[in-house]
Chains A and B, each alone.
Chain A
Amino acid sequence: MSARRSTARQVTKGVLVALLLVFTLFPVYWMLNSSLDAQAGHTSSFWPAEPTLEHYSFVLTEGGFGGFLRNSLVVALATVLVSAVLALLASVAVARFRFRMRTQILMLVLIVQMVPLEALVIPLFVQVRDLQLLGTLLGLVVVYVALALPFGIWMLRGFVAAVPVELEEAAYLDGATWGRMFRSVLLPLVAPGLVATSIFSFITAWNEFIFAMTMLGGATESYTVAIGLRSFFGVHSNDWGAIMAASTIITVPVMIFFILVQRRLASGLTSGAVKA
Chain B
Amino acid sequence: MTAQAPPTPRSSGPAPAGAGRAAVGWSGGWSSRARAAAARPWLLLAPALLVLAVLLLWPLVRVFLFSLQDYGLREITTGEANWIGLRNYGEILTAPELWTVVLPNTVGFAVLSVAGTVVFGTAVAVLLASLGPFWRTVTSSAIMAAWAMPAVTGTYVWVWIFDADRGVFNDTLMNLGLLDDPTNWFTNRWTFYAIVLLNVIHHGFPFVAVTVLAGLLGVPKEMLEAAEMDGAGAFRRFFSIVVPQLRQVFAVVIILSTIWDFKVFAQVYLMPGGAGSNRSVLNLGVWSYVESFGQNRYGFGSAIAVLLTLLLLAITAVYVRTVLAEEER
Instruction: List the interface of chain A (C-beta within 8 A of B).
Output: 13, 16-17, 20-21, 23-25, 27-28, 30-31, 34, 41-42, 44, 46, 85-87, 89-90, 92-100, 102, 105, 107-112, 114-127, 129, 142-143, 145-146, 149-150, 153, 161, 164-165, 168-169, 172-173, 175, 178, 203, 206-207, 209-210, 214, 226, 229, 240, 243-244, 247, 250-251, 254-255, 257-259, 262, 266-267, 269-270, 273-276
B309 CB-CB contact with A under 8 Å = yes
A227 to B6, CA, bound (A): 53
- Distance of B19 from chain A, by nearest CB (Å): 9
B210 CB-CB contact with A under 8 Å = yes
Which secondary structure dominates where chain B touches chain A? helix
A164 to B157, CA, bound (A): 46
Q: Which residue of B lies closest to A240 (CB)?
A: B160
18 other A-B residue contacts (CB within 8 Å) besides A165-B5, A207-B152, A258-B145: A17-B127, A17-B139, A24-B146, A28-B145, A44-B171, A99-B41, A120-B56, A121-B292, A124-B59, A146-B52, A149-B52, A150-B52, A168-B21, A169-B5, A172-B22, A247-B153, A258-B148, A276-B327
Name which of B108-116, B186-194, B223-231, B259-267 contacts chain A: B259-267
Instruction: List the interface of chain B (C-beta within 8 A of A).
Output: 1, 3-5, 14, 16-18, 21-22, 24-25, 37-38, 40-42, 44-45, 47-49, 51-52, 55-60, 62-63, 66, 76, 124, 127, 130-131, 135, 138-154, 156-158, 160-161, 163, 166-168, 171-172, 202, 206-207, 210-211, 214, 248-249, 252, 259, 262-263, 265-266, 269-270, 284-285, 288-289, 292-293, 298, 301-302, 305-306, 308-309, 312-313, 315-316, 319-320, 323, 326-327
A234 to B156, CA, bound (A): 14
A194 to B111, CA, bound (A): 35
Q: Which residue of B lies closest to A206 (CB)?
A: B150
User: A96-B17, A96-B18, A276-B1 known; A229 and B41 CB under 8 Å?
Assistant: no
- Distance of B178 from chain A, by nearest CB (Å): 16
B153 touches A25 (CB 8 A): no
Q: Which residue of A lies closest to B215 (CB)?
A: A270
- Selected contact of B44 from candidates A89, A142, A257, CB within 8 Å: A89
Residues of chain A within 8 A of B289, CB atoms compared: 118, 121, 210
User: A97-B17, A116-B308, A172-B24 known; A24 and B143 CB under 8 Å?
Assistant: yes
Could you write out 16 A-B pairs with CB less than 8 Å apart?
A: A20-B139, A28-B146, A41-B166, A90-B48, A93-B42, A111-B316, A112-B52, A116-B309, A118-B263, A119-B308, A119-B309, A209-B265, A226-B150, A254-B149, A258-B144, A258-B147
A116 to B292, CA, bound (A): 15
A85 to B45, CA, bound (A): 11
Which secondary structure dominates where chain A touches chain B? helix
Residues of chain A within 8 A of B144, CB atoms compared: 255, 258-259, 262
A229 to B47, CA, bound (A): 35
A96 to B5, CA, bound (A): 10
A207 touches B150 (CB 8 A): yes
- Distance of A139 from chain B, by nearest CB (Å): 11
Residues of chain B within 8 A of A250, CB atoms compared: 150, 152-153
A206 to B151, CA, bound (A): 11
B21 touches A251 (CB 8 A): no
B148 touches A20 (CB 8 A): no
User: A120-B59, A120-B63 known; A44 and B265 CB under 8 Å?
Assistant: no
Q: Which residue of B lies closest to A102 (CB)?
A: B41
- Distance of A216 from chain B, by nearest CB (Å): 13
- Selected contact of B156 from candidates A24, A149, A243, A266, CB within 8 Å: A243
- Selected contact of B41 from candidates A25, A97, A150, A251, CB within 8 Å: A97
A118 touches B166 (CB 8 A): no
Residues of chain B within 8 A of A266, CB atoms compared: 210-211, 214
B148 touches A274 (CB 8 A): no
Residues of chain A within 8 A of B3, CB atoms compared: 161, 164-165
Residues of chain A within 8 A of B156, CB atoms compared: 229, 243-244, 247
Residues of chain B within 8 A of A226, CB atoms compared: 150, 152
User: A31-B157, A90-B44 known; A110 and B308 CB under 8 Å?
Assistant: no
B154 touches A27 (CB 8 A): yes
A34 touches B301 (CB 8 A): no
Residues of chain A within 8 A of B259, CB atoms compared: 114
B45 touches A126 (CB 8 A): no
A126 to B59, CA, bound (A): 9
Residues of chain A within 8 A of B59, CB atoms compared: 119-120, 123-124, 127
- Distance of B44 from chain A, by nearest CB (Å): 4
- Selected contact of A17 from candidates B55, B135, B315, B323, CB within 8 Å: B135
A27 touches B158 (CB 8 A): yes
